[in-house]
Structure 1
Amino acid sequence: MKLIDIYIQEVTRRLPEKSREDIALELRSTIEDSLPDDYSEEDVKAVLEQLGSPAALANGYLDRPMHLIGPRYYDVYVSLLKMILPIASVISLISVIAEYFIGIKADETIMNVILNLFGIGIVGILEVGMQTFFLITIVFAVMERVDKGKDGQPLTTSLKKWTPDDLKNIPYIPIKKEISRWEVFWMLMWTAVWATVYFNADRLVGIYEQVGGELEFVVPAFHQDVLLQYWPIIIGLVGLEVAFAFYKLIQGRWTKNMAKLNALHQLLATIAVIAIMIHPSIFNREFLSYMADVFKITPEQFRSWLLGGVIVFFIAGAAYNAYEGFRKARAAYQNTKDIKMNI
């Protein structure tokens, strides 16, 4: 009897006080009806084992889940986390970088800048990630508990029960041609980095010398006032890259239209870079003189070499990226075509 009393106690202590007495009587009756007349402790254990864990039995009386996010909402929950966390992390990183460079000191070394950005960037991403994770989890935990659906079947992203007709709205995406959310994340992060460097080039890009065991920034490579003359073009490129990144996120795979947009983006970016680089006053004369002394040539020769190298590098990179876009789109199209033929 002691085991029965403890079992009933373990069940009812998890229930509202107003229903404990009735459920205790009902449960005791159920247990005693299942026991033989001359029962032993082993008989009691067998009946209690059949009834199961007191926590699970109490949960059945309460009619509420014992999990935070159950199978009904788990797939939708994970899908939203995968979509929102990278975007929130990028936005956090961009704001952290912008805030840092607003208050940067003129004499701060590149190594300090890198270490500080790395540190505050990681902290910012973790903080925003935890807040986003917490809020989404709370929302789905509440949905799990107010949902009156009893079948337990997982829901689709539209929060409806799955049917075979849902497959008609899902395009086939070969694994190798899928655009992952992390690919979009790195694209947005790269945009934030190069834009930040561009608007702070006079403090980051140039010649560093070892002074007293530390790297000291001595000569900037560019005239910042010249770079700032092209700010509308740069802001336009940043907007284009951000829009293209979100377009990739929505599409989820390479298509012909995406390949065309990618080629257009590469062309516009290359034209913008060339237009900026050929400005006669873009390079700092002190930088050209310093580097010319290092390579034992004239400043004009070094400028020509540097300008030519940058232009060739950007043209080659743009051509390769545009080619890769069309190759992936063509491969994905051919794969889909083969599947339709087999069907």
Structure 2
Amino acid sequence: MTTATLAERYISATIRSLKPETQDDVRAELEASIADAVEARVEQGEAPAEAERAVLTGLGDPDVLAAGYADRPLHLIGPKYYLTWWRLLKLLLWIVPICAVGGITLGLLLSGAGVGETIGQAVSVGLQVIVHLSFWTTLVFVVLERTGADTGMKWDVDQLPEVQEDGAGRSELIASLVFLGIAAVAVVWDSLRGFFPTGGEPIPILDPQLWPWWISALFALIVLEAVFAIVLFRLRRWTTTMAVLNTVLALAFAAWVLVLLLRGELVNPEFLAFVADAGGDGFAAGDAGAADNGGIFRILAVLLGFGVGAGVVWDIIDGWRKARRAGRTELV
């Protein structure tokens, strides 16, 4: 039995994973190129065995060489689909985990679960969603790349994003001041005139016991928000300091609402009684049917608290996002 040379073993290892119809051509090409390279080294004074070893070492791993002949990628996500994969994954990670965590949190709160249980379940679900989303999205693109499928997605200039504003223009200032002014007027109007016809004395929605201290704190927050909007307009850009201040103001507002909501002191008890009486027997029956979850009013309180919390979280994230983008623009 003749012992195969290093060159023969290298060529065999290279062509074994290629299609049968291409193996002969690749074998002939490699035999010729290896022989020429070895001969050139021998002419320069190297021993034949050392020359052969040096040439094969220079060619590298035969599996890598075979992948080049077969045009087969040796990576999970190559340049062809990388940007499409990354953009889709970022979009999904912004939407799906937030929706999943928000949904499970809202469901647990409505079912009467404790704060600790709710946080634990929400974190667990969020991590599972992120892991599964990343794995399956990546797997899909691996299959697309390995099979050579065409997604049909082609870039053109119409896909260029619009120039994003950082929320520091005159229109944003006016909108903020108008909104804050309406909020302040609404609080005063609710106390003096009410928003619902009662056939008698007006019944405010907010608990009258909040006057003067709690309402004064709310007005102080409104004034601070107005000052913040004016300063932001004067700066013409978001900064880290402005993002921190925005976070503090958002958390202060959330604390004002949620503390009163949890203590049952936000909404006027007379207003709740009026709503219950106006709803009649059907409303009372519905409230009794939801007794295991604390009644309809408790469910509405949870929904209100969840909505306020979600709005505050988004406001904080949006402020930091704008500050980060402004910082990058400044560096450029």
Write the deviation string for residues 22-61 of structure 1: whole angstroms up to 9, x where unpaired: 5334433432233229652321122223323222211111
Residues in 1 aligned to 2:133 and 2:185: alpha-carbon distance in whole angstroms:
39
The aligned counterpart of 2:85 is 77
Instruction: Verify: 1:33 aligned to 2:36, yes or no.
Output: yes
Q: Secondary structure at the match of 1:59?
A: helix
Instruction: Verify: 1:254 aligned to 2:167, yes or no.
Output: yes
Once the 2 structures are TM-superposed, how far is the Cα of residue 317 of structure 1 from its aligned partner? 4.3
Once the 2 structures are TM-superposed, how far is the Cα of residue 282 of structure 1 from its aligned partner? 4.4
Q: Secondary structure at the match of 1:91?
A: helix
Structure 1's 259 and 311: CA in aligned 2 closer, same or farther, altered over 3 A? closer
Indicate conservation of the 8 Å contact 1:262/1:325, yes or no.
Answer: no
Indicate conservation of the 8 Å contact 2:173/2:229, yes or no.
Answer: yes
Indicate conservation of the 8 Å contact 1:267/1:318, yes or no.
Answer: no
The aligned counterpart of 1:100 is 108
Indicate conservation of the 8 Å contact 1:259/1:329, yes or no.
Answer: no
The aligned counterpart of 1:66 is 74
Letter in 2 for 1:36: E
Once the 2 structures are TM-superposed, how far is the Cα of residue 95 of structure 1 from its aligned partner? 0.7
Instruction: Verify: 1:309 aligned to 2:217, yes or no.
Output: yes
Once the 2 structures are TM-superposed, how far is the Cα of residue 11 of structure 1 from its aligned partner? 1.8
Once the 2 structures are TM-superposed, how far is the Cα of residue 93 of structure 1 from its aligned partner? 1.9
Residues in 1 aligned to 2:184 and 2:63: alpha-carbon distance in whole angstroms:
65
Once the 2 structures are TM-superposed, how far is the Cα of residue 138 of structure 1 from its aligned partner? 3.4
The aligned counterpart of 2:129 is 128
Identity %: 27
Residues in 2 aligned to 1:64 and 1:277: alpha-carbon distance in whole angstroms:
73
Structure 1's 128 and 273: CA in aligned 2 closer, same or farther, altered over 3 A? farther
Residues in 2 aligned to 1:81 and 1:271: alpha-carbon distance in whole angstroms:
44
Indicate conservation of the 8 Å contact 1:69/1:140, yes or no.
Answer: yes
Unaligned runs of 5+ in 2: 193-202, 240-325
Residues in 1 aligned to 2:21 and 2:95: alpha-carbon distance in whole angstroms:
48
Letter in 1 for 2:230: Y
Structure 1's 326 and 54: CA in aligned 2 closer, same or farther, altered over 3 A? same
Residues in 2 aligned to 1:305 and 1:276: alpha-carbon distance in whole angstroms:
17
Indicate conservation of the 8 Å contact 2:232/2:238, yes or no.
Answer: no
TM-score, scaled to structure 1: 0.50
**How many residues are paired up?**
220
Indicate conservation of the 8 Å contact 1:8/1:28, yes or no.
Answer: yes
Instruction: Verify: 1:10 aligned to 2:47, yes or no.
Output: no
Indicate conservation of the 8 Å contact 1:266/1:321, yes or no.
Answer: no
Residues in 1 aligned to 2:191 and 2:131: alpha-carbon distance in whole angstroms:
42
Once the 2 structures are TM-superposed, how far is the Cα of residue 273 of structure 1 from its aligned partner? 6.4
Residues in 1 aligned to 2:231 and 2:92: alpha-carbon distance in whole angstroms:
27
Residues in 2 aligned to 1:66 and 1:47: alpha-carbon distance in whole angstroms:
23
Structure 1's 319 and 35: CA in aligned 2 closer, same or farther, altered over 3 A? same
Residues in 2 aligned to 1:90 and 1:54: alpha-carbon distance in whole angstroms:
47
Q: Secondary structure at the match of 2:155?
A: coil
Q: Secondary structure at the match of 1:116?
A: helix
Structure 1's 87 and 276: CA in aligned 2 closer, same or farther, altered over 3 A? farther
Instruction: Verify: 1:52 aligned to 2:60, yes or no.
Output: yes
Letter in 1 for 2:129: V
Q: Secondary structure at the match of 1:104?
A: coil
Residues in 2 aligned to 1:98 and 1:31: alpha-carbon distance in whole angstroms:
69
Q: How do residues 154-193 of structure 1 correspond to structure 2 at under 5 angstroms?
A: 159-160=154-155
Structure 1's 97 and 2: CA in aligned 2 closer, same or farther, altered over 3 A? same
Once the 2 structures are TM-superposed, how far is the Cα of residue 10 of structure 1 from its aligned partner? 2.9
Indicate conservation of the 8 Å contact 2:67/2:73, yes or no.
Answer: yes
Residues in 2 aligned to 1:311 and 1:272: alpha-carbon distance in whole angstroms:
11
Task: Work out which of the residue numbers 310, 318, 338 in structure 1 matches 2:225.
Answer: 318
Residues in 1 aligned to 2:134 and 2:165: alpha-carbon distance in whole angstroms:
23
Q: How do residues 240-279 of structure 1 correspond to structure 2 at under 5 angstroms?
A: 251=164, 253-254=166-167, 256=169, 257-263=171-177, 266=180
The aligned counterpart of 1:292 is none
The aligned counterpart of 2:196 is none
